[in-house]
Structure 1
């Protein structure tokens, strides 16, 4: 980014307001879903749990609890603080997951919030008693930047393109994949630098 780009970014940061997740999201916790329940109620709808493998899918059942754009996160265990984005999907979550639903999509774009939380949540994980946790009460207190909607959309469009590029390269040469991921991380950090400014203040 050149000087003009830096000036534009600085101007956009001045328009940013700050809010807690509890102020801008409905926060839910999942329910207990056992492996026996999965076996006895097999179906087409995914159940997300604390694992990060297989995009967090624990299994599939014949009913669903949620049917809207949302973000889920892992509340307990080694993967606590991992976030996942859901769109146009019917699904459920287990009791070691939480769910965020944006209250006003004229103020916050869910995909922007997902990218932002990918940078923030791990910093808020508690390591007490050797069991990492990020429970709903702690999640609700996390402060996030809320830039103008047009700026959120611009950031999402750029990061979506980089994300698609990195995924398309998954079968390419290791050096090329590493270079693209490094480039993606650089621009992601620059675009989401609101958080760094907030923590310095």
Structure 2
């Protein structure tokens, strides 16, 4: 625990903490692969590449919320989405209600959500099932935010190191290609 926090954590149902909703259908052809002035808002889908980023769109649906993949191979994958965004119909959305959506709660849900996916036919984690998931969270918003910042910093470091690893792999490949061709 971080210094200054000693209160017990509480177990709460997702439906007690958030308003549970879903994204809307959007054809990939209506998005751009790069952010533009006309299409500045990220669109998230059920894919895991680029943390679900499908492209960019002219409108947004939500802001600062938690999403999860409802259908398909990646069902149960949970992410915090900072800022304004659009998400497709294969994304469930948790909107701040009693507590503020943040990275900590998304991580807590991501840690358990796969266990609630139904694997009968196409894997699914529907809104009603997500709403009934119980997680343990700190009672103080400040502690939740501190934990969120900690996880966000870790993700940032992972991304930076992954870029370095990718550059080193490319350098190795280039050197091997040059030496042994």
TM-score, reference length from structure 2 = 0.76
Q: 1:113 aligns with which of 102, 105, 112?
A: 105
Q: Tell me which residue corresponds to 2:94.
A: 100
Aligned partners of 1:109 and 1:153 also within 8 Å: no
Instruction: State the superposition RMSD in angstroms.
Output: 2.5
Which runs of structure 2 are paired with 1:42-61 in the superposition (5 Å)?
A: 43-61=39-57
Does residue 146 (structure 1) correspond to residue 142 (structure 2)? The answer is: no
Distance in structure 1 (CA, Å) of the matches to 2:69 and 2:95: 15
**What is the total number of aligned residue pairs between the two structures?**
158
Q: Compared with structure 1, are the counterparts of its residues 18 and 90 closer, same or farther at alpha carbon in structure 2 (3 Å cutoff)?
A: same
Q: Tell me which residue corresponds to 2:160.
A: 168
Relative to its length, the structure with more helix (as a share) is: 1
The worse-fitting range, judged by mean Cα deviation, of 119-128 and 141-150 is 141-150
Aligned partners of 1:20 and 1:140 also within 8 Å: yes
Name the SS for the 1:69 alignment partner.
strand
Distance in structure 2 (CA, Å) of the matches to 1:46 and 1:157: 22
Does residue 17 (structure 1) correspond to residue 13 (structure 2)? The answer is: no
Q: Compared with structure 1, are the counterparts of its residues 159 and 43 closer, same or farther at alpha carbon in structure 2 (3 Å cutoff)?
A: closer
Q: Compared with structure 1, are the counterparts of its residues 63 and 114 closer, same or farther at alpha carbon in structure 2 (3 Å cutoff)?
A: same
Q: Tell me which residue corresponds to 2:35.
A: none
Q: 1:84 aligns with which of 61, 79, 102?
A: 79
Aligned partners of 2:9 and 2:138 also within 8 Å: yes
Aligned partners of 2:102 and 2:148 also within 8 Å: no
Structure 1 residue 146, shift from structure 2 partner? 2.2
TM-score, reference length from structure 1 = 0.69
Name the SS for the 2:104 alignment partner.
helix
Q: Work out which of the two has the higher radius of gyration on C-alpha atoms and give 1 or 2.
A: 2
Q: Compared with structure 1, are the counterparts of its residues 173 and 99 closer, same or farther at alpha carbon in structure 2 (3 Å cutoff)?
A: closer
Aligned partners of 2:104 and 2:151 also within 8 Å: no
Distance in structure 2 (CA, Å) of the matches to 1:38 and 1:78: 23
